[in-house]
Amino acid sequence: MALPAKAFAFGAVVHYEGQVDDRVAYFADVRYLLNKTPPDQLGGGVEVREIPVTAVYEHASKPEFVHMKLQFQCPSGYTLDRTTSKLSDNKNSVRAGNTVSFRIGPGSYKLRRSDLQTEPVAESAWRTSNAPMLSKAGAIACNDIEFHQALHAAIKGKDFDFDGFGKRIAKLGLPADMAVIGESLPSEVLEFAWENFWWNKVLAGQRPDPSGKWAKPASDADKQAALERLRTKQQELEAGAASIRTGLLQSLKKTDGEMKADLEAAKNADKHPDGSKMNKYEAKLAAVFRGQPEEKVVALMGNPNFNQVAGTRFLRYTQYWEKAGVTVYGAQGVIGGEVGGYAECYAEFRVRQDAKGEWKVDDVLVRADYQGTGLGRYKLMCDDVLSRAKL
């Protein structure tokens, strides 16, 4: 299969398998790597991590796609002493190729090929598997900080360092040539698969079409009404703002400092160890935590998403907001729907050992991202993160 030379966004082609006429492409939406651990199990030896994966099918007897909220049981990155709030690194980690424990979580669904109607997919019990797709998806879900850091490290000005990204994710056992693409939603990756993997069938008029809806023209009235609803909502969202999402590069650059006034460097702001100025959220957290033991972070902020690389620990706290979009399918694919969106903000404490061997906060990063209706909510997510520290 061939991919465009430059492909930017929040999706990843996790796996591709099958023979001609019965191929399957699996796409992960790497925006949403969520911690679904029950509250009473936080700080224990196992965490539940979720990643959305959409399987797009070529064969006429199979659905157009199945969108799965895959959940994995991941070894916690740390063990927590609840008495002292001390963290201990847990070196057991999931790598692609390992056997994983997984289940299909709530909110999964399929798009039937016969009539292009959605149908819920039942939740499943916990099972184990070393199937390539599940193993790779589990490696991403269980190592979300490492994967996220690999994406951000790959931003090089106006370009994306595919080689550098590949080298970083290869440490997780993932293929170095795993593609990141400009599509993430089920409706988007459905069209991506047909336009990029199976385009010859489309040109030959051989795309399976039992419903007749891919080929049968929609009425102009229905199509225009659907598009007008979307256009109105987008205009409301984007008034005075740049385009919310035009691919991975632009979205990740927003995350790294293009969030306008609220994430710009504050006047006379403190600085990071590399000399760059802190934004106002970072400055507030640094004033409280820099130089403090990591136990204080845990005591005030709660259980973190934890990762340790060599002599550096990363303690991350994230707030999410999501509104599901509604997609209407018809002639030639998507004809309308309701705009969805998401917003997220995280604070990441970098912790290193001092001369006495004590783990102390060395730096603080606060980053945010949004899409669609999350435009007005990312600031609230950042405020919620800081509220944990009573700021």
Separation CA 152–CA 255 (nearest Å): 9
> Taking 80 as the threshold, does the pLDDT of residue 13 lie above it?
yes
Percent of the chain with pLDDT strictly greater than 70? 68
* CA 126 to chain CA centroid, nearest Å: 23
Token code pair at residue 39 = 């509250």
Contact 111, 186 (CB under 8 A): yes
Confidence of residue 65 (pLDDT cuts 50, 70, 90): very high
Q: What is the pLDDT of residue 89?
A: 58
Separation CA 341–CA 240 (nearest Å): 18
Say if residue 352 is exposed, middle or buried (CB neighbours under 10 Å; 0-12, 13-18, 19+): middle
Mean pLDDT lowest among 30-39, 218-227, 344-353: 218-227
Least Cα distance to 37 among 28, 21, 48 occurs for 48
Work out the number of other CB atoms within 10 angstroms of the CB of residue 232: 11
- Average pLDDT over all residues of the chain: 76
> Taking 60 as the threshold, does the pLDDT of residue 260 lie above it?
no
H/E run at residue 52: strand 46-57
> Taking 80 as the threshold, does the pLDDT of residue 116 lie above it?
yes
Torsion, Cα of 259, 265, 270, 271 (10° steps): 80
> Taking 70 as the threshold, does the pLDDT of residue 258 lie above it?
no
User: Over the range 116-146, which residues count as b (16 or more CB within 10 Å of their CB) and which as e?
Assistant: bebeebeeeeeeeeeebbbbbbbbbbbbbbb
Confidence of residue 307 (pLDDT cuts 50, 70, 90): confident
The domain spans of the chain are 1-212, 217-391
Beta bridge partners of 195: none
Confidence of residue 211 (pLDDT cuts 50, 70, 90): confident
Average pLDDT over residues 110-138: 93
Separation CA 308–CA 140 (nearest Å): 16
Q: What is the pLDDT of residue 142?
A: 92
Separation CA 211–CA 115 (nearest Å): 5
Average pLDDT over residues 158-183: 87
Separation CA 302–CA 53 (nearest Å): 29
> Taking 50 as the threshold, does the pLDDT of residue 117 lie above it?
yes
Average pLDDT over residues 272-284: 85
Separation CA 384–CA 388 (nearest Å): 7
33 vs 363, which has greater pLDDT?
A: 363
Average pLDDT over residues 307-329: 70
* CA 17 to chain CA centroid, nearest Å: 23
- Alpha-helix residue ranges (DSSP H) falling in 241-359: 248-255, 280-289, 294-301
